[in-house]
Amino acid sequence: MAKKLLLSVSGLCLIAVLLSCARDATKEASPKSKVRLIVLNPGHYHAALVQKTMYDRVDPAVRVYAPDGPEVREYLERIHSFNTRPEDPTRWQEHVYTGPDYLEAMRDDKAGNVVVISGNNWKKTEYITAAIDAGLNVFSDKPMCIDAAGFAVLERAFAAAGAKGLLLYDIMTERFNRLCMLQKRLVLDKDVFGKLQRGSAAEPAVVKESVHHFFKYISGKPVRRPTWYFDTSQQGEGLVDVTTHLIDLVTWTCFPEQVIDYRDDVTVISGRHWPTTIAKSQYAKVTGAPDFPDFLKGKFNDDAVLPYLCNGEIVYAMKGVHVKLAVTWEFEVPSGAGDTHHSLFRGTRSHMIIRQGAEQNYRPQLYVEPAAGVEVPPLRRALEKTVARLQSEYPGLAIESHGAGWHVVVPPELLVGHEAHFRTVMEKYLQYLSEGKLPDWEIAFMTSKYYITTTALEMAKRGPAR
């Protein structure tokens, strides 16, 4: 007997056509050339951001499989807000199956051809494996695994996907950040940057640091974290989460389209972690739950607050280039500020630096500073020549003196926000789907990235928490 459900979202009746236990209705034909999305247990708001815009090749009918609860309802509310916004509304048609057998139902129905996964990180490898086994492509939020055991499963999933001609890909939005793209272009300009230094563990050639916040606003609405979010056994530690973006940016900038073999090309030197404490009132504010769940209560410290191991630092070398990454989390963003990103690449002629502190009004800015011993006038002329050449891609791009170096001035209208990057990375994935395969370097980037994060986590666990 078919089962249907009427979902109420913020006082608005959102009728979701649900897949039945028999599920014959899921077999209606869609054009085979279309990409048909399956959204699996959307516990993170990134699942909805994939659908913030429409795509020519993507069928507007989306199948959703999830356990019933606040997470799937919040996802549906976000989709409803996209569909009903006054400017450029989307046209998604959400067909939702909720039940404890949601994963089995998804696997049996095969009601689409691309599974979007964004939620409980501990379940990611199980979901990825189920999708690949069912012959479905995967478009997954990061991280795709959170520990060494998960990395072993993920490697097998990549092998299985390759054997079946399926695409398993993670959502690396920061590659499409215009400032990161521009920083990469300047790093690859030998007249301006020279050669990438190798550095050392004590003085790395590349340094990336980011600060994130648990309570913030996305699409004008406060982010609601799932109750399990502060359980590192489910969410994973900070060392294996945001660091995925930082590692990807390093590899993408320093070794573009090169196949990285983590067994030969990567050495993880150190990993360490430390907590941010979460009080009951903060937990309630960001999750909506009145109290900590039982699975967290045994983890309190002597002050009756939760020490959440979300902060971490990794030092590693890739092809001899030394890199240091650090991620820290604070509870709430200061007024006028936001998540921040600091990025340094040391070249033999200059250093490329993104800063995003109080001096920059918490807006990321790109700087070029001469390396030690480099004559400034020739470097400035080379930079001016490169900036003039890039103006066809970045209209209005300019430089101005700043300290011993220069500020690369990017017109604000060229700097789109984080949410817009989901469309761009989805379009890149759609391109790969049309081509029928991922480039070898993309797969190598992903395997080396998750090797670094999970290896650093093991090192951190063996050492003392700060």
Q: What does the pLDDT profile of the chain (466 residues) look like in tens digits?
A: 233 343 433 333 343 443 333 343 344 434 456 999 999 999 988 999 999 999 999 999 999 999 999 999 999 999 999 999 999 999 999 999 999 999 999 999 999 999 999 999 999 999 999 999 999 999 999 999 999 999 999 999 999 999 999 999 999 999 999 999 999 999 999 999 999 999 999 999 999 999 999 998 876 778 889 899 999 999 999 999 999 999 999 999 999 999 999 999 999 999 999 999 999 999 999 999 999 999 998 899 988 899 999 999 999 999 999 999 999 999 998 777 778 889 999 999 999 999 998 888 888 999 999 999 999 999 999 999 999 999 999 999 999 999 999 999 999 888 877 788 899 999 999 999 999 999 999 999 999 999 999 999 999 999 865 5
> What is the distance between the alpha carbons of residues 199 and 95, in angstroms, rounded to a whole number?
53
Which token pair is 319? 């092809």
Cα 18 from chain centroid (whole Å)? 29
What residue numbers bound the domain in which 55 lies?
Answer: 5-171
Q: Are residues 121 and 244 in the same domain?
A: no
Q: What is the CATH number of the domain that holds 414?
A: 3.30.360.10
Domain-terminating residue out of 171, 200, 230: 171
Q: How does strand 37-40 pair with strand 61-66?
A: parallel
The helix/strand/coil state of 168 is strand
Q: Are residues 263 and 221 in the same domain?
A: yes
Which token pair is 196? 């990438």
Domain-terminating residue out of 126, 149, 171: 171
Q: What is the CATH number of the domain that holds 90?
A: 3.40.50.720
SS (H, E, C) 322-384: EEEEEEEEEEECCCCCCCEEEEEEEECCEEEEEECCHHHCCCCEEEEEECCCCCHHHHHHHHH
> What is the distance between the alpha carbons of residues 413 and 258, in angstroms, rounded to a whole number?
32
Q: Are residues 155 and 33 in the same domain?
A: yes
Q: Are residues 152 and 126 in the same domain?
A: yes
Q: Are residues 203 and 229 in the same domain?
A: yes
395 within 8 A of 411, measured Cβ to Cβ = yes
Q: Are residues 103 and 199 in the same domain?
A: no
> What is the distance between the alpha carbons of residues 359 and 250, in angstroms, rounded to a whole number?
25
Q: Are residues 147 and 210 in the same domain?
A: no
> What is the distance between the alpha carbons of residues 139 and 37, in angstroms, rounded to a whole number?
10
Q: Are residues 288 and 390 in the same domain?
A: yes
Strands (E), 61-142: 61-66, 93-98, 114-117, 137-140
- Give the model's pLDDT for residue 22: 35
Q: Are residues 111 and 190 in the same domain?
A: no
**Residue-wise burial string across 69-96, b where 16 or more C-beta atoms lie within 10 A, e elsewhere:** eebbbbbbbbbbbbbeeeeeebebebbb
118 within 8 A of 71, measured Cβ to Cβ = no
Q: Are residues 162 and 213 in the same domain?
A: no
Domain-terminating residue out of 125, 156, 171: 171
Q: How many domains, in total, are found in the chain? A: 2
Q: Are residues 228 and 349 in the same domain?
A: yes
- The pTM assigned to this predicted structure is 0.91
Q: Are residues 137 and 190 in the same domain?
A: no
> What is the distance between the alpha carbons of residues 390 and 196, in angstroms, rounded to a whole number?
21
